[in-house]
Structure 1
Amino acid sequence: MFAVRSLVFVGAVGFVLLIACANAANLLLVYPDRLIYVTAMSAISITPFISTIRAPLIGMPFCVVVSVGGQYIANVLNAPNIAYAHLPHCLLIPFLILVLTPNALLKMRFRQLALTSRELVLIFAMGLIASIAPDWAMNWYLMAVITAPHYYASVENQWETKFFDYLPDWLVLDYDAARGFFEGIGPSRPIPWRDWATPLFWWGSFIVAMLFVGACLVVMLRKQWVEHEKLRFPLGEIAIHLIGAERDGKDDSAWPPFYRTSLFRTGFITMLMLSLYNCTTYWTGWSHFPIMGGAADTFILTIDPAYPAQVFRLNIFSLCFAFFINVEILFSLWFFQIFSTLQAGYLNRIGMTSTTLVPGGLVSIEFIGGMISFVLWGTWMARRHLWRVVCHAFGRPSELDDRNELFSYRTAVFGLIIGFLYIMYWLHHAGMAFLVIVLFLFFLYVFYLAVARVMAEAGLVMIDLPINANQFTVGMIGSANVSTPTITGMALTNAFARNWRTFTMIAISHAAWFKDYLGKSDHGESMEDKEKATNTKPDEVDTRWDPSASFFLWMCVAFGIGSTSSLGYLIWAGYRYGEQSLRGGAIGSLGNGFYAMAIAWIDNATRITELEVAFLVGGGIMTFIMTIGRYLFYWWPLHPIGFVVAAAAPIRSAFFPFFLAWLIQVLLLRFGGVRLYQKAQPLFLGMLVGYLIGAGVSYTIDVFWFPDTPHLYENFF
């Protein structure tokens, strides 16, 4: 283990040196005039999208740092939250320490060698895509499904007799290979990579198809979300502020504009000092400042045994991101948490409960009805744009311009069709019935689209799926109406059906937003707008050195590097040390629960009731009313997003940060208006950066001083 820690340290130092080498190579090999330019006939002067290939060259090893580093910290320190958030620690901490800070120091002395803000955005986007692979993002669920069934099967749980006949052997690991992973084989024996080849190949093909379908949907909807609905993408805005990409061309300062304000320095120093003090308590045993949302810092309010407890905890990470959320959404988030508590308690007192195996019961079903209505309404509002996209894809005359998308509309439309066909084919061969596949995919992509749409408007950094699509599908159909082969296939879908980071299109939609942001000039005009204003034809622009067309390619490379490196490390660590010793068998316990759920579906035949249908429809109607109210009445106080995500566990845990951020925003807007609110943003950005640096110090301390008794730096539950 010491050798691994040393390797991580050497790798971090080497990565910093790589930045200097890449810049030196750029100075020697790239001529200054080899940038994006336009011909003498054009009156446009387009800023280079990315001046050289050094950004991808730095981005690729950065993806390894993000993915393997995140998986390593999760394994060694049992810190799954490092990859939990949608802008996770495993991305933000190395970006601030290994990329942004060295680049700012380099810019102070050798300005021409420093990375531009646009190059930094590309590196950040690659890291964001790589971060959707490690641990809780994807690997944890995938490994649990692949490794658990044969190893944990026993006479008591009856897995072998009840569903092993329908378990595809090309998707799971055999007993001997799984035993070596969970118990370890030591350094002397070779790792049986060949046993992993078949399941990883077929799961890999399925994951690629799922991600590509998500990318196709993002391409088809991005213009609707950004240009028609004017969605802000708050997480993207925060990233732009962290990078400093919003600065104009005349700003040559080493540090981004927000970093140079006194409020940023105040927030940064204050939060860094509090975080460093909390780190000293690892040795002293003194009381720490309750800023991390841990169990010891939680106050639980229970008004009656029949009512769910309301949790109060202060998580600075959540608070800093919540400050950038619209005040109406913030109000709705905490309001519907109170509504959920009161409604659930009242239903418990009168004995009205759900009979299906849907977590959360009737209240959860109601919120899911709202989520379905939310997506259907959004699709209806986008119908004209989607029709124009389809017409454009089939070659009909259209005013749409897809040059600033990840790829063409034609690729998106036909890729969507082909991708869905392969997904259905794959699931059918895994044992699922065709009609169940159709309903399951409908719920799955409704949930994925809902979360992606919520993130585009609200920027909830810690949101996950309120319910898993496979559980909801079985609950709605009734397990009595589902065959055992289909239930077995449903158990396998836990690898992706409960995944809120990798497959929900949040990362790829933000990557598309970054590409659109970079495709605009310093004055916010897109290339097509400039062409219209100056009567310039697209073929007059020389883009030989413009890699914007390969932006999606670099995102694919980032995911390939992130997924293969983190999965490879996880498999290697399992066989060398034993997964059970690394994390106390967390992956095995998760997989055990997945397949135990299949037994529960088989043994407990349930059917959907009229009461559950009524709550499902009622939730949809409530969301529809709130949506119409926002369109018709300017004073309407409730935002449907608060209702749609109310069943998600991290939203309930973040009740107090949402309320506190809402209260601060209301006071700022009341006494100083929007200008005062904007002036306060650097304070919370500084708090965020200080908190992240403190987290990095904490992880480093635990790796070298407390590897056997690590400290949980942050908790979202």
Structure 2
Amino acid sequence: MQKSPFSIRGLLTGVVLCLAVGLLAPYGIVFNYYWIGFNPSSPGALFFFFVLTFIVNAIVGLISRNFELSKADLVLIYCMLLMAVTVPTWGLMFFLIGTLVYPFYYATPENNYAELFYDYIPSWMVPQDFQAIKSYYEGLPQGAAIPWGVWVEPMGWWLSFIIVLSFMLICMSAILHRQWSVHERLTYPMVQLPQNMIDKGEDPTARLAPFFKNKTMWLGFAIPAVLLSLNAFNHYFPIVPQYNPNGRFSMFNQTLHLPIALNLAWVGLFYLVNLEITFSIWFFYVFSKLQEGVFNVLGIASTERLSAYEYSQPADLTHQAAGAVIMLVLFGLWNARSHLKDVAQKLWDPEGGVDDSQELLRYRTALYGFLGSLLFVGAWLWRSGVPITVLPVLLIVSLIFFILVARVVATGGVATARSPIVPAYFIISGLGTSILGAKGLVALNFTFIWQGESRTSPMVACSNALKLAEMIPGSKTRLFWGIMLALVCSLGGAAYMTLKLAYTYGAINLSLINWAGAHGWPYVGPTILNMPEANMRGWLFTGIGALVEALLMVAQHRWFWWPFHPVGFAIAVGWLTSQIWFSALIAWILKLVIVRFGGVHFFQSMKPFFLGLILGEVVISGIWGVIYPLTTEKGRWLTNM
């Protein structure tokens, strides 16, 4: 058996930090101190990692080199942090707890929740004590104990589901990693900053990586540090000027608005991406807004109502993007068929074929783990009320969307992305409600918990973690257990802190916790009452999106000069793309000018500057996230990174 390059000390350090992430993230987001786990860019993980590499490890090294964390342990800790930040707040926990209790507290004679929902909600999935639910929203009387016992059964079932689902996605990441990293050579822009923070180059005895001694990096670091500090000081002293890079551009007689939001960290990330990808992201977003405007002017826009996740774009464009996404992922799997065949051969020949000794999991283990987890997830969902006839569609579409986000982040450095439509409403719109019935609709609403905010899925975290782990040769078994421990610690810490905050202050006074539970239920009620049929127009636009995406992929493979990348069209619609497109445009212009007039050498020499933009935004937001709770009751959100 190979000796692990990752030490027990590194593993235990990661466990402590991941538990801290689970406890601190809900607290930080509720009081607007620091949003630790909001997007795939993982600012919380980067901030903890900066403190560890630049401060703690350097100081410990002055005392004794024996106490320093090794390069392998730093990689292990960062991989664990990546997984830990996916679940505490926006990625899962706020939606989990809020969805379980919302229909009971907010039931009124007007919305008729009791008659519409209660008969179809299994008792094991939700708390059964209404007084405990009421206290969750309104807070407990002073001195009263939190009713932890009420939550044991539902949270036990849900956390077991989440852990198995996450394990399934980790197995899928392990299976696809070599295809993406080695065969297709995806760039993984999110990994480049932590790589630079721990790579000591030709002097492995140095206390700091050369990256931290680069003056160009610190120049880039200083820009967001100064600008965001202005906003922090303005929170205390309104006379201090603010930095506000947001606005909008109106079109079609003020009926359509193009949001403009500049994020310097995202500019830094997009600088690391191919020009054709950044061009396609902003171009296809603007094109989709023009398409939306034309449909509105001509009066041919769809009136279909989807879920809260699709509110920012018309239904036609949502279906069009869904078709593009499905085509992109299926083509990618087809392109990986040779690799997947090699993986499958490990089932009957574990010692032969492709070498998987340095993968996160042996391919045989990953395959059995994936299939076993898939069966558990399917059985769990069926028991929750999802009809057996719909279950395969739900699982397949969900897996496609999880793969999409992980691939888009690995390919395009997209700091934030999610599927254009949640699988539940892909099914409701595409198959109609008669196949589901009221029970199936209620069960699908609970799937919002784990499929709504797919931007912070465990697969995204694991894909980036595996790329970073390539820096360390040897067995990755301990890395796998570290990732799983990170997930469990963060889940446990986040569940505890979210419930404690709600029972202490009252969820109705904590807007984000209160709001998260409202994502699905207000939409399900009207759907049960109306029971819409399948939307054929939606299928038409799904087909159009798939066809356009296929043509883009053919053109990209046929003509080297083709300027449009299929990823840009697949993520062209949605609120998240509206937040990143302008940063992609600025990065595209800057990189185009730098490459054209400075050449490849100048482009490489400017990389530390743009990495500094990322690190500066992360660190200064984290520093103020520490200062806020010491000096004020509520902070000011400095970055949406």
Q: Please report the TM-score for the alignment, with normalisation by the length of structure 2.
A: 0.94
Structure (1 or 2) with the larger CA radius of gyration? 1
CA distance in 1 between partners of 2:425 and 2:462 (Å)? 26
Pick the aligned partner of 1:129 from 83, 103, 111. Answer: 83
After superposition, the Cα gap between the structure-2 partners of 1:415 and 1:283, relative to the gap in structure 1 and judged at 3 Å, is closer
Aligned residues: 634
How far is the alpha carbon of 1:194 from its aligned partner? Answer: 1.3
Whether the 8 Å contact between 2:378 and 2:391 is mirrored in structure 1 is yes
1:671 counterpart residue number? 597
Determine whether 1:341 maps to 2:266.
no
- CA distances 1:198-230 after superposition (whole Å, capped 9, x unpaired): 111111121122111111211221111111111
Query: Equivalent residue for 1:659?
Result: 585
Correspondence 1:536-547 to 2 at 5 A: none
CA contact (8 A) 1:391 1:397 kept: no
Letter in 2 for 1:432: V
Q: CA deviation at 1:170?
A: 0.8
Within 5 A, what are the aligned runs for 1:479-558?
Answer: 479-503=433-457, 505-519=459-473, 548-558=476-486
Q: Is the 8 A contact 1:220 1:409 kept in 2?
A: yes
Distance of aligned partners of 1:271 and 1:298 in 2 relative to their CA distance in 1, 3 Å threshold: closer
8 Å contact kept, 2:320–2:545: yes
Alignment map for 1:12-411 (pairs within 5 Å): 49-50=5-6, 52-77=7-32, 81-108=35-62, 110-174=64-128, 175-241=130-196, 243-245=197-199, 247-248=200-201, 250-286=203-239, 288-290=241-243, 297-305=245-253, 308-358=256-306, 359=310, 360=313, 361-395=315-349, 398-411=352-365
Out of 569, 587, 612, the position equivalent to 2:538 is 612
Q: Which residue pairs with 1:693 in the alignment?
A: 619
The amino acid of 1:324's aligned partner reads L
In the alignment, the residues of structure 1 paired with residue 275 and residue 582 of structure 2 have an alpha-carbon distance, to the nearest angstrom, of: 15
| 8 A contact 2:20–2:493 mirrored in 1 | no
Give the conservation status (yes or no) of the 8 Å contact 1:466–1:649: no
CA positional deviation for 1:289: 4.8
- Shift in Å, 1:481: 4.2
Q: Does the 8 Å contact 1:167/1:488 carry over to 2?
A: yes
Tell whether the 8 Å contact from 1:333 to 1:658 is kept in structure 2 after alignment.
Answer: yes
Residue number among 411, 427, 432 corresponding to 1:478 in the alignment:
432
Residue 54 to residue 609, structure 1, CA distance change in 2 (3 Å): closer
Distance 1:610 1:558 in 2: 44
Q: Residue 287 and residue 198 in structure 1: after superposition, are their counterparts in 2 closer, same or farther (change >3 A)?
A: same
* Equivalent residue number for residue 403 of structure 2: 449
Residues of 1 paired with 2:484 and 2:79: CA distance? 11
Q: Amino acid of the residue matched to residue 684 of structure 1?
A: F
Q: Which residue of 1 aligns with 2:487?
A: 559
C-alpha deviation, 1:439, in angstroms = 1.2
Residues 414-471 of structure 1: CA distance to partner in whole angstroms, max 9, x if unpaired?
2222211111111111111112111111211111111111112112112233221112
Matched residue type, 2:234: T
Do residues 712 (structure 1) and 640 (structure 2) align? Answer: no
AA partner of residue 660 (structure 1): I
Residue 449 of structure 1 contacts residue 505 of structure 1 at CA under 8 Å; is this kept in 2? Answer: yes
* Distance of 2:389 and 2:638 partners within structure 1: 45
**Amino acid of the residue matched to residue 223 of structure 1?**
R
Cα distance change on mapping 1:200 and 1:444 into 2, 3 Å: same
Q: Following TM superposition, by how much is the alpha carbon of 1:317 offset from its aligned partner in structure 2, in angstroms?
A: 2.3
1:227-286 Cα distance to aligned partner (Å, 9 max, x none): 111112111122212x223x3353432221222122012222343233333322223313
Asked if the contact 1:355/1:606 (under 8 Å) is kept, the reply is no
Matched, 1:643 2:566: no
What RMSD, in angstroms, separates the aligned Cα atoms of the two structures? 2.2
Verify the 8 A CA contact 1:68 1:562 in the aligned structure 2: yes
Aligned mates of 1:78, 1:183 — CA distance in 2: 23
Q: CA separation in 2, counterparts of 1:74 and 1:713?
A: 12
Contact in 1 for aligned 2:98/2:513 (Cα 8 Å): yes
Partner Cα separation in structure 2 for residue 626 and residue 107 of structure 1: 52
- Distance of 2:16 and 2:610 partners within structure 1: 30
- TM-fit CA distance, 1:647: 1.7
Which SS does the other structure have where 1:412 is aligned?
helix
* Higher RCO (C-alpha 8 Å, min separation 6): 2
> Counterpart of 1:147 in structure 2: which amino acid?
V
Percent identical across equivalent pairs?
26
TM-aligned CA deviation for residue 475 of structure 1? 1.2
- Alpha-carbon distance in 2 for matches of 1:93, 1:232: 22
Matched position secondary structure for 2:69 = coil
What is the letter of the counterpart of residue 231 of structure 2? N
Label 1:307 to 1:230 Cα distance change in 2 as closer, same or farther (>3 A).
farther
Give, in whole Å, the separation in 2 of the partners of 1:187 and 1:411. 51
Among candidates 566, 569, 594, match of residue 520 of structure 2: 594
Q: Deviations over 1:536-586 (max 9, x none)?
A: xxxxxxxxxxx73221011111111111011111112222222223x13x3
SS in 2 for 1:299: strand
In structure 2, the residue matched to 1:24 is: none
- By how many angstroms is 1:129 displaced? 1.0
Change (3 A) 1:250 1:696: closer
Runs of 4+ aligned residues of structure 1 deviating over 4 Å after TM superposition are: none
1:373-423 Cα distance to aligned partner (Å, 9 max, x none):
001101111112112211112227742111111112112222222211111
Alpha-carbon distance in structure 2 between the residues aligned to 1:282 and 1:447: 39
> Is this contact kept in 1: 2:140–2:506, CA < 8 A?
yes
Rounded Cα–Cα distance in structure 2 between residues aligned with 1:126 and 1:152: 37
**Counterpart amino acid of residue 267 in structure 1:** G
In structure 2, how many angstroms separate the alpha carbons of the residues matched to 1:112 and 1:415?
A: 38
User: Which runs of no fewer than 5 residues in structure 2 stay unpaired?
Assistant: none
Look up the SS of the partner of 1:300 in the other structure: strand
CA distance in 2, matches of 1:593, 1:368: 20
> What secondary structure does 1:77 align onto?
coil
Distance 1:609 1:512 in 2: 40
In terms of mean alpha carbon deviation, does 494-503 or 211-220 score higher?
494-503
SS at 1:137 equivalent: coil
Q: Is the 8 A contact 1:298 1:313 kept in 2?
A: yes
Q: TM-score, normalised by structure 1?
A: 0.84
Does structure 1 conserve the Cα–Cα contact (< 8 Å) formed by 2:271 and 2:591? yes
- What amino acid is the match of 2:278? L
Q: Distance in 1 between matches of 2:51 and 2:40?
A: 19
Distance in 1 between the 2:447 and 2:536 partners?
27
Q: 2-side partners of 1:230 and 1:189: how far apart?
A: 57
Instruction: Name whichever of 689-698 and 335-344 sits farther off.
Output: 689-698
Tell me the CA shift for residue 668 of structure 1: 0.9
Query: Partners of 2:365 and 2:629 in 1: how far apart?
Result: 46
Q: Deviations over 1:266-317 (max 9, x none)?
A: 2223432333333222233135453xxxxx5422111114753111122122
Q: Which moved more, 1:447-456 or 1:657-666?
A: 447-456
Instruction: Classify the secondary structure of the residue corresponding to 2:480.
Output: helix
Tell me the alpha carbon deviations over residues 502-540 of structure 1, each in whole angstroms, 9 at most, x when there is no partner: 535101122222333312xxxxxxx6xxxxxxxxxxxxx
